[in-house]
Amino acid sequence: MTSTITRSYDSYETAVTVVENLEGAGISGNDISIIGRDEQAKTSNSAEGAGIGAGVGGAAGLLAGIGMLAIPGIGPVVAAGWLAATAVGAVAGAAAGGLVGSFISAGASEEDSHYYAETVRRGGSVVSVKASDEHRATVEAIMDGAAPINREARIAQYREEGWTRFDEKTVPNSRVADDLNRPKLPVD
């Protein structure tokens, strides 16, 4: 049996490392997807998209085929894999749900799908893997070993800010998005 395992990360670089480690463990690039926000995407155009993955470290495998998408309500993201292909179809066809619909079609619950889309909008990245039962433990160990975002804590934080679900027509409070991605400094 195959299941989809998804984790979100605060940085694109961490998500790229997860993808590289998954491929290094023998997980096929065909079974891995990444969608995320990368600082290079803000200043790049879609023709440069493929160079972003290679420039971050993915000279082969899934990351060599990375491209850029403009997703309504989110903006430019870097993406590769089967989930990215679903997102491209949703955006191109104006399918209901956009990125949320892509996560739902990949097997995520509606609540998780809204959370993943909001996380990407706020600067995070999401890695999803289609894993057979025999590879599930390896995939989870690699993904969890990279310190993914604590979903429950992050959703609680979003809700404290008034968030209820991803809405492509609203823009998150930029201060909040900046704070989520700013390194935490020790308090004296």
C-alpha dihedral (101, 99, 51, 53), degrees to nearest 10? -80
The model's pTM: 0.78
Residue 62 belongs to some domain of the structure: yes
Total domains present in the chain: 1
Tell me the two tokens of residue 130: 């289609």
Q: Is the dihedral of CA 96, 102, 107, 109 positive or negative?
A: negative
Residue 91 belongs to some domain of the structure: yes
Residue 57 belongs to some domain of the structure: yes
Residue 80 belongs to some domain of the structure: yes
* Residue range(s) defining the domain that contains residue 132: 2-181
Residue 187 belongs to some domain of the structure: no
pLDDT tens for each residue of the chain, 188 residues long: 899 999 999 999 999 999 999 999 999 999 999 999 876 655 554 444 444 444 444 445 778 777 887 777 777 888 888 887 666 554 444 444 578 888 888 889 999 999 999 999 999 999 999 999 999 999 999 999 999 999 999 999 999 999 999 987 776 554 444 444 444 444 44
- What's the half-sphere exposure (Cβ side, CA atoms, 13 Å) at 23? 20
What are the residue ranges of helices labelled H in the chain?
12-24, 39-43, 49-56, 82-92, 98-105, 110-121, 133-145, 151-160, 174-181
Q: Alpha-carbon distance 42 to 35, whole Å?
A: 14
Residue 188 belongs to some domain of the structure: no
Residue 164 belongs to some domain of the structure: yes
Residues 6+ apart with CB under 8 A from 139: 5, 22, 25, 27, 129, 131
3-state helix, strand and coil shares in percent for the chain, rounded to the nearest 5: 55, 15, 30
Tell me the two tokens of residue 66: 């990375």
Q: Alpha-carbon distance 37 to 48, whole Å?
A: 15
pLDDT in tens, 53-104: 444 444 457 787 778 877 777 778 888 888 876 665 544 444 445 788 888 8
Q: Is the dihedral of CA 175, 180, 186, 188 positive or negative?
A: positive
